[in-house]
Amino acid sequence: MSKRRVTFAVMMLAVIAGVATTFAQRPAQRRESSSQSYSGNVRYDGRFVFIRMSYPFSGGRGAPWAHDYPVGEEHFLKLLTSITNMQSHVDASSIMSFSDPELFKFPVAYLVEPGYWYMSDTDVTTLRDYLLKGGFLIVDDFPNRAWAQFDLQMSRVFPEGKWIELDPKHPIFHSFFEIDSFDIIPQAYNLGGRPIFMAMFEDNDPTKRMYAIANYQNDLSEFWEFSEQGRYLVQDSNEAYKLGINQFIYGITH
């Protein structure tokens, strides 16, 4: 293990070990059957806020958009702030629907389990405007069976949009940490194949601005959620954090 990786491993463990479980002290934020914004959202004050997107669903065991919530982002925010010195809300995050006008105040939106994702016509219009005006969408917790539904919803947003597979040379993998190979990317469980990163760009041109990245056959937040419990190897959790930090930094700066 290189000196840089050892340093990051020690930093990650130190930060995560100090994360107090604040969920029990906060109001219940998991909404089982609504896509409406959670009333306890963080008020905009210029600092970075982790925005988790919600959507309507039916049946199932809990809200699919809430998987790994809230512990996943609590751990991620602790590390993001400690490593990058970014000014952010560390002990709070927000839940928003795709039609929420407040979304335009925040540069990055995070969506999970896209196989269950459905949008109203208003959601579609708002998401299109958000992305065209500079917003960035990160899609995670993405098994291969989810692609058809995800692609269907995004085709409503950009009917002419095309998904382009990224390679490790793309700047998003070098926005903070240097990620030169996808061979080191861990998988929390069987998602149907090797990790793949798909992106949609302005005018379908990879040299122009990226609208969204899909962590296809990936589940980075699974590692974030359980990083203090030792469920996964430290080096695997490290790589999941690195990928997440790079994606958020890229979205904020582009």
Q: Using 50, 70 and 90 to split pLDDT, how confident is the model at 253?
A: very high
Per-residue pLDDT tens for 8-45? Answer: 554 554 454 444 333 223 333 333 333 444 457 998 89
Element (H, E) at 6: helix 3-17
The pTM (predicted TM-score) of the whole model is 0.86
Strand order across the beta sheet in which 164-165 lies: 94-96, 51-53, 108-112, 136-142, 210-216, 196-201, 164-165
The architecture of the domain spanning 3-25+36-253 is 3-Layer(aba) Sandwich (3.40)
* Sign, CA torsion 119/121/126/131: positive
Residue 81: phi and psi, rounded to 5, are -70, -40
d(CA 241, CA 85): 15
d(CA 25, CA 47): 23
Domain boundaries, the chain: 3-25+36-253
d(CA 72, CA 84): 18
